[in-house]
Structure 1
Amino acid sequence: MSTDFQRAREALGVRLHQLRDDAGLTGRQLAAGLGWPPSKISKLENGRQTATEADLTAWAEATGHPALAPSLRADLRGLETQYQSWKRRLASGHQRAQREAGAEERSASLVRAYEPTAIPGILQTPDYARHVLASGAALHQSPRDTDDAVRERMRRQELLYEPGRRFHFVLWEGALRALVCPRSVLASQLDRLAGLVGLDTVTLAVIPFTAEMPLTVRHGFWIHDEAYVTVETINAALWLDAATDVALYARAWESYAQAAVQGNDVHRLLASARRALGPT
């Protein structure tokens, strides 16, 4: 969890505690009035649980400050520009998340990405995307809007061909070989990547298994210009815009990029991964 996010969540908790204290209510009294377990009051006030907008509205009303509900909700929305759980982000399905990812990519002229485990969404074939998105929906138990989400992901790929944009991808070789889909689907995905090598808006680099790694493999991340970094974990998506964070991820990206190969060497790695699949 980002330190900035946690500090913001704790600051919101302080506001909630103050409202309860001003109302002369104990935590148990407020919990009883709201029909919540007392532990929820403690977690919200101490920044150990993220409130929902409904929670904040109910809190403001129960403590006699209904007019403060919009301000509390604004604090929450500011907090969620840094951190958002997948449970919330996927509440209406993957299509909306894909649309938001496209908006992030359109806002930047230079996108640098490091992905160690899967092919980046903007480079995926429809079939590969379908398997990845369906497995994500199953994990998060979110609405199954896979076909709409795939179409939205494919629309994002139009940006790859817009003059003036630059996309620099660094993949670990494991991303080329991970069977997150049937072998025939992965084979087509590898062919798709081979066709992107040499595109003037795209740089595709791969870190071979045999490369000397400057860092451990770690998690994937995307850097949008020099403005912010997006990181996806199993439970949440983070947006990091502190200059120190952006600089840190930029150094990490450069380290991975220096260990990667490009051009014909990428073609050889793709061909090797393709052969390893056997007949498809």
Structure 2
Amino acid sequence: MSASPSSSAQQARRAIGRRLRDILRDSGITARALAHAAGWDESKCSRLINGRTLPSDDDIRVWCRICNAENEIPDLIAATRDADSMYVEWRRLQRSGMRRLQETRVSLYEETRLFRFYCSQFMPWPLQTPGYMRAVLSAFADFHDAPRDIDEAIAARSARSRLLYEGDHRFAMVMEESVLHDRIADDDVMAGQLGQLLEGMSLPSVSLGIIPSGTRRKLWTMETFSIYDDKRVFVELLSAGVTVTQPREIALYLKGFSELAGQAVYGNKARSLITAAIGALS
């Protein structure tokens, strides 16, 4: 896997910095002269050119105006906004509420034909019950001090599960066995959630594999991630959600998912693991 799941965002920042540097060079203006004309500290130009800081929309307009490259403004603003969305802290995503967080990628979900989920912490969201969702979202809100519009967030997340039954969407899910035993909620909720996994396995659109504890690993346990067709990866970190769009990195996650899926058991063996987890609840 990639050394850092945020490297796509870092590369995007650097690419924007290189474009700003090229515009500056083409203009024949020095960074010092640009900073003086813009009323900036000279160090700001260095931070922007080296990708340490993303430019604001106003920064781009000022830079391009001074460099007589105003035709570059729309593309640069669009690229900056895209880069800004690649690595986003949860607290920033939550500003408009938990419900909004659940709705941010609905169009992506609707367009995706093949979903791949690797779950090392929670059940895959298409198969989560409302009770399990409540436990997860409540714990998340408590930890990150997020808005507590839990009911609205559950409704929004539940609505996404219709994709299991609509259209030609397919879902390949791989879980660590430990997820079955993590007591995210009380025993009744966990029993219902585990039962939902058993039901979900019977759907023609779903493939569910479980990596048994104690399996000799070719690939280690890692952060939860999901792949949308072969175009985008979303990685869930403690502090942030990371969107990966670089083809080279996507290829690594596809390879990683394939290897993890190869370590999982399916069918009756997976059902036995789920049934054993239900039996362990008492």
Task: Please report the TM-score for the alignment, with normalisation by the length of structure 1.
Answer: 0.81
Letter of the 2:198 counterpart:
A
Match runs of 1:136-155 below 5 Å: 136-155=140-159
Distance 2:134 2:74 in 1: 39
AA matched with 1:169: M
Give runs of aligned pairs for residues 67-78 of structure 1, distance below 5 A: 73-78=77-82
Alpha-carbon distance in 1 for matches of 2:19, 2:83: 14
Give the drift of 1:76.
2.1
Q: Distance in 1 between the 2:246 and 2:128 partners?
A: 30
- Do 1:228 and 1:241's aligned partners in 2 also have CA atoms closer than 8 Å? yes
User: Size of the alignment, in residue pairs?
Assistant: 269
Structure 1 residue 168, shift from structure 2 partner: 0.8
Distance 1:43 1:22 in 2: 13
Cα distance change on mapping 1:16 and 1:141 into 2, 3 Å: farther
Query: Which residue among 184, 192, 197 is the counterpart of 2:196?
Result: 192
CA separation in 2, counterparts of 1:141 and 1:21? 41
1:92 counterpart residue number: 96
- Do the aligned partners of 1:206 and 1:260 also contact (CA within 8 Å) in 2? yes
Residue 242 of structure 2: aligned partner: 238
The secondary structure found in structure 2 opposite 1:203 is strand
**What is the alpha-carbon distance in structure 2 between the residues aligned to residue 115 and residue 259 of structure 1?**
13
For the residue of structure 2 that corresponds to 1:90, the secondary structure is helix
Amino acid in the other structure paired with 2:40: L
Q: Which runs of 5+ in 2 are unaligned?
A: none
Report the CA distance between 1:75 and its aligned residue. 3.3
**Matching residue of 1:206:** 210
Q: Which of 220, 224, 230 is the aligned partner of 2:228? A: 224
Give the C-alpha shift of residue 151 in structure 1.
Answer: 0.2
Distance 1:49 1:147, change over 3 A: farther
Q: Which runs of no fewer than 5 residues in structure 1 stay unpaired? A: 32-37
Shift of 1:114: 0.8
Q: State how 1:1-280 maps to structure 2 within 5 Å.
A: 1-13=5-17, 21=31, 25=35, 30=40, 46-50=50-54, 55-57=56-58, 73-278=77-282
TM-score (normalised: structure 2): 0.81
C-alpha distance in 1 between matches for 2:259 and 2:19: 42
User: Could you give the per-residue CA deviations for residues 228-259 of structure 1, whole angstroms, max 9, x where no partner exists?
Assistant: 22212122222223332222211111111111
User: What is the SS of the residue equivalent to 2:230?
Assistant: coil
- Alpha-carbon distance change, 94 to 187 in structure 1, aligned in 2, over 3 angstroms: same
Q: Which has the higher contact order (CA 8 A, sep 6+)?
A: 2
Contact residue 174 and residue 209 of structure 2 kept, 8 A: yes
Task: Give runs of ≥4 in structure 1 deviating > 3 Å.
Answer: 10-26, 38-51, 58-65, 67-73
Deviation per residue, 1:105-133 (Å, 9 max, x gap): 21111111111111012211111111211
Range 225-234 or range 13-22, more displaced = 13-22
Cα distance in 1 for residues equivalent to 2:245 and 2:128: 27
Amino acid corresponding to residue 141 of structure 2 in structure 1: A
SS in 1 for 2:105: helix
Q: Whole-Å Cα distance in 1 between the matches of residues 64 and 111 of structure 2?
A: 41
Cα deviation for residue 46 of structure 1 reads 4.3
- Aligned-residue Cα RMSD (Å) equals 3.1
SS at 1:169 equivalent:
strand
User: Matched residues in 2 for 1:141 and 1:46: separation?
Assistant: 33
Q: Secondary structure at the residue paired with 1:128?
A: helix
Shift of 1:143: 2.0
What secondary structure, in the 3-state scheme, does the structure 2 residue paired with 1:30 have? coil
- 8 A contact 1:86–1:236 mirrored in 2: yes
Secondary structure of 1:205's aligned partner: strand
Distance in 2 between the 1:89 and 1:44 partners? 24
Shift of residue 148, structure 1, vs aligned partner: 0.8
